[in-house]
Copies of this chain bind each other. A is one copy, B any other.
């Protein structure tokens, strides 16, 4: 207790990775796919413990195990009770947690496993997609103060009725963030098979750079736009509870020096996802994202009545069709308007048929559209204070002769729909234009 207080008062800096800290670390399925990999993961934990940090671990199931369990459940019955699905599927993390505790103990670190119900991690009773309602930090807090490393099953908790719940696929990230919030951790390190968040997809732009820092808001826009590094929900929760996240690789040498990719003071070799306030030099644009196979559909001369948009998109939602971009112009004749939106190419035919069938309820003159679009977006909190990002983006694309079909904007993101064949060209052009290219490649 006293030791802890000394740590806290000894300049427990937010941005420092070198001072003593309380850290929650989370390992995904590929990081714990075998006992050998669990050992590799445990060496990262050991490094933090040896440095004097307090550490709790959250683990996913071994890669492939959850799929195996889900397969059995579906074989047992395609229409199964979600509570039994949860009881079966939650067993995967129980295995990893026990194995991790054993490996840590063998390394001389005091450790024990906790199933979600043992912590306990309380959730609602929405089995299969439960939400964490409360985590009792008492036992975890006590263990960590006593120098123990608790290993907690990710992805699961216990319902008000005492049944095991799961949070939905990828929920271990959310578990980790929730635990970090509950124990007031200074950092939540998400160990995965990539070494951070990049300015864009390195397969498209070899000069893409790993970011040392990115804001929660930017990460949310990046994640929803296809940078599948973190579950959106976990980022939302991290933002709400101000839990600083680090995205980093399990496969890095655990004993290598801990240095930020740009040599800055985050002190961790990965991307720190944090509050905007922690980012001093804000880039206007932090990243460029791409989503392909987007089809656009236009309804012309739609009766411009209140509720018409709700009717259109409600009809599509009823059919399970997910709409991405939506653009509506002001009615030029004061009576009708044009509405354009995008859906995945695979849903195009279904969407057209759904709207034609609903012709009696939704009044419009013509419907048209085409598949094969690509959505290119630039994301950056710097946009808030810099006017003209949209127009500069359009100019950069025009310089390459790329025609823009649709435009949507949010506070920190501008997206355009273009012909899919120009997708990579557009991403490379924008990456260079906003100064994101790595210098030494």
Residues A95 and B84 in contact in the complex (CB < 8 Å), given A76-B102, A103-B76: no
Q: CA separation between A140 and B241, bound complex, in Å?
A: 41
Among the listed stretches A113-121, A305-313, A376-384, A397-405, which one makes contact with chain B, having 4 or more residues with CB under 8 Å of it? A113-121
A interface: dominant SS: helix
Which residues of chain A from 66 to 91 have any CB-CB distance to chain B below 8 Å in the complex?
Answer: 69, 72-73, 75-77, 79-81, 83-85, 87-88, 90-91
The count of chain A contact residues (Cβ–Cβ below 8 Å) is 38
Contact with B along A218-248 (1 / 0, CB 8 A): 0000000000000000000000000000000
Note all chain B residues with C-beta closer than 8 A to A85. Answer: 98, 102
Contacting pair A72 B88 (CB below 8 A)? no
Contacting pair B106 A83 (CB below 8 A)? no
Contacting pair A73 B98 (CB below 8 A)? yes
Note all chain B residues with C-beta closer than 8 A to A113. Answer: 84, 87
Residues A88 and B81 in contact in the complex (CB < 8 Å), given A38-B76, A72-B35, A76-B106: no
Contacting pair A118 B162 (CB below 8 A)? yes
Q: How far is the CB of A299 from chain B (nearest CB, A)?
A: 43
Q: CA separation between A117 and B115, bound complex, in Å?
A: 12
Work out how many copies of this chain go into the complex: 2
Complex partner residue of A106 from B35, B77, B164, CB under 8 angstroms:
B77
Note all chain B residues with C-beta closer than 8 A to A92. Answer: 91
Contacting pair A84 B98 (CB below 8 A)? yes
Q: Does A389 contact B (CB under 8 A)?
A: no
Note all chain B residues with C-beta closer than 8 A to A79. Answer: 106
Contacting pair B95 A69 (CB below 8 A)? yes
Contacting pair B88 A94 (CB below 8 A)? yes
Q: Does A105 contact B (CB under 8 A)?
A: yes
Contacting pair B88 A112 (CB below 8 A)? no
Q: How far is the CB of A43 from chain B (nearest CB, A)?
A: 14
Q: Does A297 contact B (CB under 8 A)?
A: no
Contacting pair B95 A81 (CB below 8 A)? no
Question: Residue among A72, A79, A103, A164 with the most chain B CB within 10 A?
Answer: A72
Note all chain B residues with C-beta closer than 8 A to A101. Answer: 81, 84, 87
Q: How far is the CB of A107 from chain B (nearest CB, A)?
A: 9
Residue of B nearest to A158 (CB): B118
Q: Does A99 contact B (CB under 8 A)?
A: yes
Q: CA separation between A30 and B287, bound complex, in Å?
A: 54
Note all chain B residues with C-beta closer than 8 A to A91. Answer: 91-92, 94-95
Note all chain B residues with C-beta closer than 8 A to A103. Answer: 76-77
Note all chain B residues with C-beta closer than 8 A to A162. Answer: 118
Q: Does A132 contact B (CB under 8 A)?
A: no
Contacting pair B81 A102 (CB below 8 A)? yes
Question: Residue among A73, A91, A97 with the most chain B CB within 10 A?
Answer: A91
Note all chain B residues with C-beta closer than 8 A to A106. Answer: 76-77, 79-80
Note all chain B residues with C-beta closer than 8 A to A163. Answer: 118
Residue of B nearest to A100 (CB): B76
Contacting pair A99 B81 (CB below 8 A)? no
Residues A94 and B94 in contact in the complex (CB < 8 Å), given A75-B35, A77-B102, A77-B105: yes
Known A35-B76, A85-B102; 13 more pairs at CB < 8 Å: A69-B95, A73-B102, A76-B102, A76-B103, A77-B102, A81-B112, A87-B113, A87-B115, A88-B94, A88-B99, A90-B94, A94-B94, A118-B163
State the A residues within 8 Å of B (CB). 35, 38-39, 69, 72-73, 75-77, 79-81, 83-85, 87-88, 90-92, 94-95, 97-99, 101-103, 105-106, 112-113, 115, 117-118, 162-164
